[in-house]
Structure 1
Amino acid sequence: MNSVQLLRGQLRPALIGLMMTVACVGTVRADEGVALTPVNQVPDGVEVRGKQVAAFTWDDRQGKNLLVLAEQISERDDDGSQSAFVYAAQYLIDGDRPRRMWMLYDDVQRCEFDAALRFDMAATRVTDLAGDGSTQATVGYSLTCASDVSPNQFKLIMHVGKSRKYRLRGVDRYGAAWWDEELGALRGMPLPTDCSVAAQQALVSQYKEQGTELPLPGCYGDEKDFAKAPERYLTFMRQHWFALMKQQDTEWGQAQTQPQPQEPTVDEDSAP
């Protein structure tokens, strides 16, 4: 049987009838979150567009829920362009017929460079922010059409019930710093900790050579979606965004400073 448990309380620069097989790999847990049970096979009646990359179940006051995530990158067309998309959906497993609560679809069409859309699995969260048994499902993903290593667009989206969604949209930390051989250190604009326009402009003033476009790598553009939302939703999404960007920043920085493998030398006298 699937089991869940409610857990209480707990940015280079941007110039640019339920039957399913349960994967016994433990649960995904997070602060202020619901423990999710991963599944390999979704029930009949659940649509999956593209290649399924993850699926999770949990229980709340509505009943048993299912979240499915899928991605697809196409082969290049005759003109050399490439397309990609991501797909997500939440279902309520009610009797023998799954009922879709909401669907997310986003794409990059006919990209002349390299198209990429992929979910950030660390962004996948289900929360019960009011502690009343009603849950909110949040997913995040990056998208780009580029020919270089530079920050991607990033979207963090919370779905509440069938029709309400709240988004933070900005730029991630991929390619936000690079290794300077002369300095022997990373260069680039640091990770912002405040995405207000004033705070971002203050960073731009401090790092003038790094560019002036907003949002900066690791920041979102605005919080307009939350104008009429409960304050706890925005509080959670801010904290979640910055935690994700901090993780990305750390992973990218570590990748830039890893020693590169040396080509083996060949002794000419012993070469065949």
Structure 2
Amino acid sequence: MNSVQFLRGQLRPALMVVWMTLGAAHAAGAAGDVSLTPLAQVPAGVEVRGRQVAAYSWDDRQGHNLLVLAEQEAGERDDDGTQSASIYAAQYLLEGDRPKRLWMLHDDVQRCEFDAGLHFDNAATRVTDLLGDGLSQVTVGYSRTCTSDVSPREFKLIMHIGKAHKYGLRGIDRHGASWWDEEAGALRGMPLPTDCSVAGQQALLSQYQEQGTDLPLPGCYNDEHDFAKAPAKLLVFMRQQWFALMQKQDADWSQQQSPAPAEDEP
């Protein structure tokens, strides 16, 4: 039994417009952030697979860069009753007569018998120069699901550095991780982990006496293997980014589940 099945008691298959405050975060001067320019339209020669949800440009030692994010949402079901969805991200170097693509990210959910979904978390989008070498790191995050209920989804936080390097944290988000218990008058569910190591997650399970729940817990990633040979600053940043995103998701979801306070009688 996986963690979602245990939490919600429902079956779940094995598959698991620009964020305006992004500019505010950059304006606040977060360490390593690169100044970005939002773009309503991308230049000719830049491929956009699906509906453009965001695009940014910036400069680094490579030259003038462009990041484009697009989604192909699940639409009408096919003749067999299934749905498909996909996301697309790419970084281009704008030089000469034609943009040069440095990397491309594509993920999809194919022939989903339930409800297919793939969506960027625009709060995850960051461009940084953490190493101070003038070469930017581009980080995007997105959720992926094929479910018939409200339950945590796969979540991937991916960092690209030029053409050669890709690092990621991949796990489960906080969507549907808690629910309102009318009898108890409180939210129930596994609390948001603060340590995604195996030992940390098992300690949380032991504390709450949950049994039969697979790792990762909702809000945790699987492992940090991608960063074994990466500069330490990159993993520090990605951990911080992951937990900040999960905290925001947890707060937003909890607020949606909690009943509105009763109005005082006149």
User: 1:130, CA displacement in angstroms?
Assistant: 1.2
Q: Which runs of 5+ in 2 are unaligned?
A: 6-11, 13-19
Is 1:235 the counterpart of 2:231 in the alignment? no
Q: Give the SS at the match of 1:173.
A: coil
- TM-score, normalization by structure 1: 0.85
User: Paired residue for 1:29?
Assistant: 25
Alpha-carbon distance change, 260 to 163 in structure 1, aligned in 2, over 3 angstroms: farther
Aligned residues: 242
- Say which one has the larger Rg: 1
- Deviation track 1:197-253 (CA, whole Å, cap 9, x = no partner) reads 011011111223475110000000000000110111101000100000000000000
Q: Give the SS at the match of 2:76.
A: coil
User: Paired residue for 1:192?
Assistant: 193
- Deviation track 1:118-171 (CA, whole Å, cap 9, x = no partner) reads 000000000000122111000000000000000000000000110210010000
Alpha-carbon distance change, 210 to 246 in structure 1, aligned in 2, over 3 angstroms: farther
User: Paired residue for 1:71?
Assistant: 71
CA distance in 1, matches of 2:134, 2:164: 18
Is 1:115 the counterpart of 2:116 in the alignment? yes
User: 1:80, CA displacement in angstroms?
Assistant: 1.0
CA contact (8 A) 1:178 1:187 kept: yes
Q: Alpha carbon RMSD of aligned pairs, Å?
A: 1.9
CA distance in 1, matches of 2:216, 2:261: 32
CA contact (8 A) 2:22 2:123 kept: no
Alignment of 1:139-158 (within 5 A): 139-158=140-159
User: 1:260, CA displacement in angstroms?
Assistant: 9.6
Alignment of 1:22-171 (within 5 A): 27=23, 29-30=25-26, 31-32=30-31, 33-73=33-73, 74-171=75-172
- TM-score, normalization by structure 2: 0.87
User: Identity of paired residues, percent?
Assistant: 70
CA distance in 2, matches of 1:178, 1:135: 40
CA distance in 2, matches of 1:69, 1:82: 21
- Deviation track 1:34-84 (CA, whole Å, cap 9, x = no partner) reads 121110110011000011111001111111100000001232101110000
Q: Give the SS at the match of 2:250.
A: helix
CA distance in 2, matches of 1:168, 1:26: 21
CA distance in 2, matches of 1:216, 1:92: 38
Moved more, 150-159 or 35-44: 35-44
